[in-house]
Amino acid sequence: MTGRFIPFNRPQIEEEEIRAAVETLRSRWLTTGPRAEEFERDFARYVGARHAIAVSSGTAALQLALVTAGVSAGDEVITTPFTFTATAEVIVHCGARPVFVDVRPEDALMDPARVEASLTPRTKAILPVHYAGQPCDVERLGAVAAASRLVLVDDAAHALPARVGGRMVGTLGDLTAFSFYATKTITTGEGGMVTTAKEEYAERIRALRLHGLSRDAWTRHDADESWQYEVHEPGYKCNMMDLLAAIGIEQLKKCDAFHAARCRCASAYTAAFSRMEAIIPPREAAGRQNAWHLYVILIRPEMLTIDRGQFVRQLRARNIGASVHFIPLHLQPYYRKAFGYAPGDFPNAEWFYERCISLPIYPGMTQDDVLSVIEAVADLSRRFRR
């Protein structure tokens, strides 16, 4: 048993972030302003996107992306059941129906072949999730979307800095939504970003994030008639304030270093778990860079005398902060009642869920922390071997 608790995640907040937050507080400009604009420019440059628009959360980023894509009442959006509820709830908030398609059992990513089979005249968009940091098959999904004149909206909450070939996630779909929640690969505590190559999309999101106003407070601050603005449509209140953006600017500078640390941890895990018969480690697909937001192993229940839930509890008893991502949405009461989904509808998602365990992975993990996690998993694999 390890001597101290190793949490599932710990944000890497250092003096640079603290100094930036304090400087912003002293500036007296706290809401959306110069730091938010700087964060947007830096982020767009980092991922290679033409536009980046900072918002209050990853969920807000997804909702604004769908609204901007024209999703409305009566439409359908194809997505995955193997995700956090935010992915599907924003579809519902648009008045549309989430149409789930099953995932591939090897990586829990949306299966493009099943997407094609689920298209109807009501389909408006395809919303894949880059689960755990592993990029989806966006080439095929993009081709399906283009052939049917659909909008491809990426849920990239897990996917900074993931790549497909030489291109970074954030430049692959029509619109991409990122999250900077406390557990993400970079964090602002709460916050999100939408990237797009289309000027008209970017302009609409900038207006929608602040009540549909033609100019935000910072834009009006320097204008001769600062009180002048126009409302072109009802919007939302989901702009990112400068206090959070200041933290994001410093976090983004460290994104590559954070990713390198996650890769070292993932490599050590994979090398060890590949030697354990009862454990299936994740694999990084060829031509893709995994962001390693999560490190998800699968247990082989036929080889063990305990199930996944018991395995997680045993890890926690050994001071390892393991978790599970995710409970498939078609098993949740709301989606069963509202849309008629039922257990058994998506067997691959259920198969993955029954076996998956998310292990601690974050930049501040020491070599001893990583070894403690490996030793705990190895001990359970031996102790409860069938």
Q: Is 56 helix (H, G, I), strand (E, B) or coil?
A: coil
Return the pLDDT at 229.
82
Count of CA atoms in the C-beta half-sphere (13 A) of 261:
18
User: Which residue in 14, 7, 18 sits closest to 243, CA to CA?
Assistant: 18
The pair of three-digit structure tokens given for residue 216, joined into one six-digit string: 């935000």
CA dist 90 → 59, 77, 192, 280, 346 (Å): 7, 10, 14, 33, 21
Confidence band, pLDDT 50/70/90 cuts, at residue 222: low
Confidence band, pLDDT 50/70/90 cuts, at residue 221: low
Q: Does the pLDDT at position 264 exceed 60?
A: yes
Q: Does the pLDDT at position 217 exceed 90?
A: no
The pair of three-digit structure tokens given for residue 293, joined into one six-digit string: 């937001």
Mean pLDDT of 191-219: 89
Rounded to an integer, what distance in angstroms lies between the CA atom of residue 16 and that of residue 222? 29
Amino acid symbol at 7: P
Query: Could you give the angle at which helices 15-27 and 242-253 cross, rounded to 10 degrees?
Result: 150
The pair of three-digit structure tokens given for residue 189, joined into one six-digit string: 């505590």
The pair of three-digit structure tokens given for residue 304, joined into one six-digit string: 């063990």
DSSP 135: P
The residues near 172 (Cβ < 8 Å, ≥ 6 apart) are 135, 138, 142, 152, 154, 164
Provide the β-strand partners of residue 289.
Answer: 163
The residues near 357 (Cβ < 8 Å, ≥ 6 apart) are 296, 297, 298, 299, 308, 311, 312, 315, 322, 323, 324
Confidence band, pLDDT 50/70/90 cuts, at residue 215: low
Per-chain mean pLDDT for the chain: 95
Give the position of tokens 């490599």.
267
Confidence band, pLDDT 50/70/90 cuts, at residue 3: confident
Residue positions annotated with a catalytic role: 184
Q: Does the pLDDT at position 21 exceed 60?
A: yes
Return the pLDDT at 227.
67
Q: Is 61 helix (H, G, I), strand (E, B) or coil?
A: helix
Return the pLDDT at 152.
98
| Model pLDDT for residues 60-90, shown as the tens digit of each residue | 999 999 999 999 999 999 999 999 999 999 9
| Model pLDDT for residues 158-182, shown as the tens digit of each residue | 999 999 998 999 999 999 999 999 9
pTM higher than 0.75, yes or no? Answer: yes
| Model pLDDT for residues 48-62, shown as the tens digit of each residue | 999 999 999 999 999
Sheet containing strand 167-168, strands side by side: 167-168, 163-164, 288-289
Please say whether the beta carbons of 386 and 305 come within 8 A.
yes
Interstrand relation of 76-79 and 295-299 (parallel, antiparallel or unpaired): unpaired
Rounded to an integer, what distance in angstroms lies between the CA atom of residue 132 and that of residue 159? 7
Provide the β-strand partners of residue 288.
Answer: 164
Mean pLDDT of 8-32: 96
Q: Does the pLDDT at position 1 exceed 60?
A: no
List strand residue ranges (DSSP E) for the chain, in order.
51-55, 76-79, 97-100, 123-127, 151-155, 163-164, 167-168, 175-179, 192-196, 279-280, 288-289, 295-299, 356-359
Q: Does the pLDDT at position 223 exceed 70?
A: no
What are the two backbone dihedrals, phi and then psi, of residue 256, each rounded to the nearest 5 degrees?
-65, -40
Mean pLDDT of 185-203: 98
Q: Does the pLDDT at position 214 exceed 80?
A: no
